[in-house]
A and B are shown apart, each in its own frame.
Chain A
Amino acid sequence: MRRYSAFAIAREALRHHAGWGRAWASPEPKKRYDVIIVGAGGHGLATAYYLGKNHGITNVAVLEKGWLGGGNTGRNTTIIRSNYLQDPSAAIYEKARSLYETLSQDLNMNVMFSPRGVIMLAQTHHEVRGYQRTAHANALQGVATEFIGPARVKELVPIINLDGPRYPVLGGLWQARGGTARHDTVAWGYARACSAMGMDIIQNCAVTGVETESGQVRAVNTSKGRIECGKLALVVAGHSSELAEMAGFRLPIESVALQALVSEPIKPCMDVVVMANTVHGYMSQSDKGEMVIGGGTDGFNNYTQRGSFHHIEETVRALVETFPMISRLKMLRQWGGIVDMTGDRSPILSKTPVGGVYVNCGWGTGGFKSIPGSGWAMAELVAKDAPGPLAAPFGMERFREGRFIDESVAAGVAH
């Protein structure tokens, strides 16, 4: 792997950029790997990366049905925050956020992490109390957030309309160290680093079956043939139920489409991320100038990567009343991702009924921001066959035990 640096740019500038080489290799699968990870999105690649970096396991393959980072990793609104109410959530999301701060240096690839700050608007008295409580909880968890009043909100977001027709802005939960990152580059950076450690990233390779022997995983059957494995990690977000069925167990997951859209690019007008959960909409401005807008999830199970049109209408209506200046913006693109929702809106990082099979799923609408923390915790789970402190509360047995991690912040919308 060629290291990226200012010197490398200067050197390549002098020879027509002929020497960069490929960022990662695309090998044919070997006969056997110690660990196979299904899903080359952010979470799967991060799991592979930390398996190598933290645990020295590098005989790893990452299998991907489509192309690398082509699922939800490339379909989100790139928001990073960790202002969660419950201790286990705050711990894993804060781990992820703190890893994002040094990810560019770590991966030797600029993921453009921009800690521009995230503000969640409080627009009802209920929300004011809720966010004040979250700010107190965050103080105890060591996550830097504060509850701010409307005047400070206006100072941070000059284009906001504090006195909206339905819900006036009464304050907000402000996390100054939250922000955004370049989503594709997160996947590419992890892939490049994994490939440099000797791991195989195999794209266009769909898993069609999981072979088990006396309750222990032996191999996976794929569109590129049978591949033996010691351990198998399923990290496939919206398609987790399908993979679990192949392995012979069921998950407490329902898959729905979550939508986002971007506007035409305009001059810089908003340098923070604003989320308005009461009216269901959130918005930030990309480096290109587009307003990146996140909407709601569908209410019914589907795998369409499209989403229902009326959610766009609701989202845009909410944002026009919050930011009147965007009312004449044209929307350029709209897309959907299949998110995996659990009953308590918290993820699952867990051993499964099948020996040597682990799942990492259920991130729902909050997948992108958690990628480094999720990979870190999942790698430990896979390497040691036991969850570390970050993953332990997220075992799937919590649904049987009634020990939910009930994240009202992650209320099925707004991440």
Chain B
Amino acid sequence: MLTLECPYCGIKADETELAPGGEAHLKRQGPGASDEEFEGYMFARANPKGVHFERWRHAMGCGKWFLAARDTVTLEVYGTYPAQTAAPPKALMEKIEKRQSDRGGK
């Protein structure tokens, strides 16, 4: 069972307590955007086989949105961080890199 730690209330919540919200850090498009930009925002997804940055909501807990880095093959959770973040924190990226080099390659 997938377990994520909510960065707001600190509770280690399993997936039945959480609601998944899809890819994180998408650039929001509004009026004036081109068709291609809007298509990218609405539909095109990285869908990686590996590290995925994604949104979650602590639906059955504090109710807040947060972000997580998770491996889509092993389901390893590298870390969670607050939703008010434009890019993954540097410390998290270093941790992911280290975990991957420990495992040898990707």
Is A252 an interface residue, CB under 8 A from the partner?
A: yes
Interface locus among A119-127, A163-171, A302-310: A302-310
A309-B1 contact given A254-B22, A299-B20, CB 8 Å threshold = yes
Check if A308 sits within 8 Å of B47, measured CB to CB.
no
Are B19 and A255 in contact, with the CB atoms below 8 A? no
Residues of A within 8 A of B70 (CB): 300
- Chain A positions within 8 Å of B1 at CB level: 308-310
**Contact between B72 and A303, CB atoms less than 8 A apart:** yes
Residues of B within 8 A of A308 (CB): 1-2, 15
B44 at the interface (CB under 8 A from A): yes
| B20–A241 touching, CB < 8 Å | no
Bound-state Cα–Cα, A399 to B48, Å: 20
Say yes or no: A343 contacts B42, CB within 8 Å.
Answer: yes
Which residues A227-248 have CB closer than 8 A to chain B? 239, 241-242
Give the residues in chain A near B35, CB-CB below 8 Å: 400-401
Report the Cα distance A373→B3, complex, angstroms.
41
Nearest CB of B to A188, in Å? 28
Q: Is the interface of B mostly helix, strand, loop or mixed?
A: mixed
Q: Quick check: B47 and A255 within 8 Å, CB to CB?
A: yes
Interface residue? B36 (CB, 8 A): yes
A301 touches B52 (CB 8 A): yes
Asked if B75 and A304 make an inter-chain contact with CB atoms under 8 angstroms apart, the answer reads yes
Chain A residue contacts of B100, Cβ below 8 A: none
Interface residues of B in 49-83 (CB under 8 A from A): 49, 52, 54, 70, 72-73, 75
**Number of residues of chain A lying within 8 A (CB) of chain B:** 23
Closest beta carbon of chain B to A313's beta carbon, Å: 9
Of A250, A301, A342, A400, chain B has the most CB atoms within 10 Å of the CB of A301
Give the CA-CA distance A255 to B47 in the complex, in Å. Answer: 7
- Name the A residues within 8 Å of B52 (CB-CB): 301
Q: How many angstroms from the CA of A371 to the CA of B15 in the assembled complex?
A: 34
CB-based contact B39/A399 at 8 Å: yes
Partner of A239, one of B19, B36, B45, B49: B49
A242 and B39 within 8 A (CB): no
Contact A300 B20 (CB under 8 A): yes
Indicate if the CB atoms of B72 and A252 lie closer than 8 Å. no
What's the least CB distance linking B47 to chain A, in Å? 4
CB-CB contacts of B10-48 with A at 8 A, as 1s and 0s?
000001100110110000000000011011101111111
Known: A301-B54, A399-B42, A400-B39. Contact between A253 and B2, CB under 8 A? no
Cβ–Cβ < 8 Å partners of A410 in chain B: none
Say whether B16 contacts A310, CB under 8 Å.
yes
Q: Which of A303, A310, A401 contacts B15 (CB 8 A)?
A: A310
Q: Given A254-B22, A308-B1, A310-B16, does the pair A301, B42 have CB atoms closer than 8 Å?
A: no
A331 contacts the other chain (CB 8 A):
no
B-side residues, CB < 8 A to A, are: 1-2, 15-16, 19-20, 22-23, 35-36, 38-40, 42-49, 52, 54, 70, 72-73, 75
Q: With contacts A241-B49, A304-B72 known, what are 17 further pairs, Cβ within 8 A?
A: A239-B49, A250-B44, A250-B45, A252-B45, A253-B45, A255-B47, A255-B49, A255-B72, A299-B20, A300-B20, A300-B70, A301-B23, A301-B47, A301-B54, A304-B73, A399-B39, A400-B39
Residues of A within 8 A of B (CB): 239, 241-242, 250-255, 299-304, 308-310, 342-343, 399-401
Q: In the A-B complex, list the 10 residue pairs whose CB atoms are closest, starting with the nearest.
A: A252-B43, A241-B47, A300-B20, A299-B20, A400-B39, A250-B44, A399-B43, A343-B43, A302-B72, A400-B35
Could you pull out 15 A-B pairs where Cβ atoms are within 8 angstroms?
A241-B49, A242-B49, A251-B44, A252-B44, A252-B45, A253-B47, A255-B72, A300-B20, A300-B54, A301-B47, A301-B72, A304-B72, A304-B75, A343-B43, A399-B43
